[in-house]
Amino acid sequence: MAAAALAIRLYLSLTNFCIAADGVKYLRMARDFAAGRWLSGLNSSFSPLYPLLVSLASPLTGNLELAAGLISAAFGTAAVVLLFYLMREVFGRRDIAAGAAVIAAIHPGLSAYSASVRTEAGYLCLMTGMLWLFASGLNRQSAARFALAGVFGGAAYLYRAEGIGLLIVGCAFLMLGAAVWRQWNFSQAALWTASFAVPFLLVASPFLIYLHLSTGHWLVSRDLKGRVMDATANKLNIAFDLWMTPYYFVQAIEPAVAVLLAIGLWVRGRAMVLNWRESWLGAVVLFYSLVFAYLVTGPRFVIHLVPFTFGWAAIGFESLSLALARVRIWSRPVPAAAPAVLLALLLLPRTLWPIGYDIRAFPYAAADIRRRGSPPRAVAVSDCRLAYYAAVECVSIPVEPKPGACGWLATVPQVGYLMLASREEPRWGDVRSARCLKLVKRYPRIGSSYFDLFEVKSN
């Protein structure tokens, strides 16, 4: 299982066509950390742990992007293993835990994020480890396991700012759970809350203190205050995002797995609420679903919650398999392996599709720019990944240039090349006949869409 997960993630990492948009910023932070420019690296809206790990690993690979991808692959594989232990702790069954881990290993979204220069893989690994240690701490009534869960939770916060929510939901679950399930008393809840919260805050405190010193406010993230203000001012957007959350979840989990999840939830029914272990996972998923709906949501954010529902999806798979075993088609039983084969056929083609294939134009165009001679000081483009691959300055293009394409380009004399997507060109007028532009090459995207690279003849 772990070997298959690692193989898939290494394959996707090594066949990745183009870096993620945020990946450019993570690598910039990693480059600053590697050069000892700590304040410059920390002066970002992103959490620092992932870029720091990339900077430490880059001497082993000689390439920041490769190091970043391999770190994600390692964390993504470890997350599958930790998910097995979490589900075994929650459901008490190795077969359900193994089923959940297999789904995670071949899941398209989880596999892609585990092979990208992004924080999702590491964050999910640390979050899964924290949830497992937390549940096992309750099962064994072990303050030491709660303390280790706090270390994992604090590290998750240093990976992504939303990890701070684990502190809130964990402490609230312990205190409220003492009254709801009565499997532990309030004095135990207070002890375990302290055992969990203190290590969490100790691990998270260096970055929290830095943010306080650099901004003058106690913040968990540089951009969180702005998101809260925007959300408060747009209550209709919150209601819409809350309404759309189930749709985003189906997109993130994949429709086939969503069907299995629905069956599993139906099978478990009220037993989920009576079982504090399952309620622990449900509380985390519900808490973050509401937080994301309030701040920012979509499949990319909801996918952080998807693995923690795979235990119920595995139960749904088991129930479906048992039901199909009683079905006869032309007097013959449905093969026992049919559901597993069908699920694999639905997921694996999407899982194994190379990452970034639709935006392969950026590295290809950058290579063409380098082959054409002395590189320019800058390129004008809406997506700065072209500039990253060309190793030049990025100038963001306006939605509609004024006064016309050549007029706007005259205001940015450092630009040597302009790249436009097919959806952008209509707002730029007849760029093919513009006196200041010469078409270099057209790069296909998906279907009839494309990117056009132009040389700027005069500025």
DSSP 3-state assignment of 406?
helix
Output 293 or 129, whichever has higher pLDDT: 129
Q: Are residues 164 and 227 in the same domain?
A: yes
Q: How many of the other CB atoms lie within 10 Å of CB of 245?
A: 18
Q: Taking 80 as the threshold, does the pLDDT of residue 103 lie above it? A: yes
> What total number of domains does the chain contain?
2
End of a domain among 325, 347, 368?
325
Per-residue pLDDT, 163: 95
Answer yes or no: is pLDDT of 134 > 70: yes
Q: What is the pTM of this model?
A: 0.92
309 plus 180 within the same structural domain: yes
Whether 375 and 274 map to the same domain: the answer is no
Are 204 and 271 part of one and the same domain? yes
Same domain, 193 and 147: yes
Question: Where a domain ends, among 325, 343, 375?
Answer: 325
Burial of 255 (0-12, 13-18, 19+ CB in 10 A): exposed
- The pLDDT tens digits of the residues spanning 300-319 come to 889 999 999 999 999 999 99
Residue 134 lies in domain: 2-325
Instruction: Please report the pLDDT score of residue 386 as a whole number.
Output: 94
Q: Per-residue confidence at 23, pLDDT binned at 50, 70, 90?
A: very high
Q: Which residues have CB under 8 Å from 434's CB, separation 6+?
A: 404, 405, 406
Residue 332 lies in a domain: no
Is 344 among the domain residues? no
pLDDT tens-digit map of 359-405: 999 999 999 999 988 888 999 999 999 999 999 999 999 988 888 88
Q: Residue 296: inside a domain, yes or no?
A: yes
| pLDDT score at 229 | 57
Is residue 335 situated within a structural domain?
no
pLDDT at 234: 65
- Over residues 54-72, the pLDDT tens digits come to 999 999 988 899 999 999 9
Model confidence band, residue 157 (pLDDT cutoffs 50, 70, 90): very high
In this structure, is residue 345 part of a structural domain? no
The whole-number pLDDT of residue 337 equals 79
Q: Could you tell me if 210 and 319 lie in one domain?
A: yes
Q: What is the pLDDT of residue 380?
A: 94
Residue 233, pLDDT score: 55
Question: Residue 457: what pLDDT?
Answer: 85
Residue 337 lies in a domain: no
Amino acid at 124: L
What pLDDT digit, counting tens, does each position of 236-282 carry? 677 888 888 899 999 999 999 999 999 999 999 999 999 999 999 99
Residues 295 and 443 reside in one and the same domain: no
At 230 the pLDDT is: 58
Last residue of a domain, one of 308, 325, 342: 325
Q: Is 215 exposed, middle or buried (0-12, 13-18, 19+ CB in 10 A)?
A: exposed
Closest CA to 113 of 341, 383, 307: 307
Backbone angles phi, psi at 381, to 5 degrees: -165, 155
pLDDT at 33: 95
Would 242 be classed as within a structural domain?
yes
For residues 282 and 430, state if they share a domain: no
Mean pLDDT across the stretch 117-122? 95
Q: Are residue 303 and residue 439 in the same domain, yes or no?
A: no
Query: How many Cα atoms occupy the beta-carbon half-sphere of 395 within 13 Å?
Result: 20
Reported as a single tens digit per residue, the pLDDT across 224-235 is 665 665 555 566
Q: Is residue 314 domain-shared with residue 397, that is, in the same domain?
A: no
pLDDT value of residue 226: 59
Are 189 and 239 found together in one domain? Answer: yes
Average pLDDT over residues 180-184: 93
Residue 341 lies in a domain: no
Nearest one of 169, 154, 84, 156 to 120, comparing CA atoms: 156
Per residue in 435-455, pLDDT (tens digit) is 899 999 999 998 889 999 999
Alpha carbon distance 60, 51 (integer Å): 15
pLDDT at residue 459 is higher than 60: no
Clarify whether residues 21 and 146 are in a common domain.
Answer: yes
The answer to whether the CB of 71 falls within 8 A of the CB of 117 is no
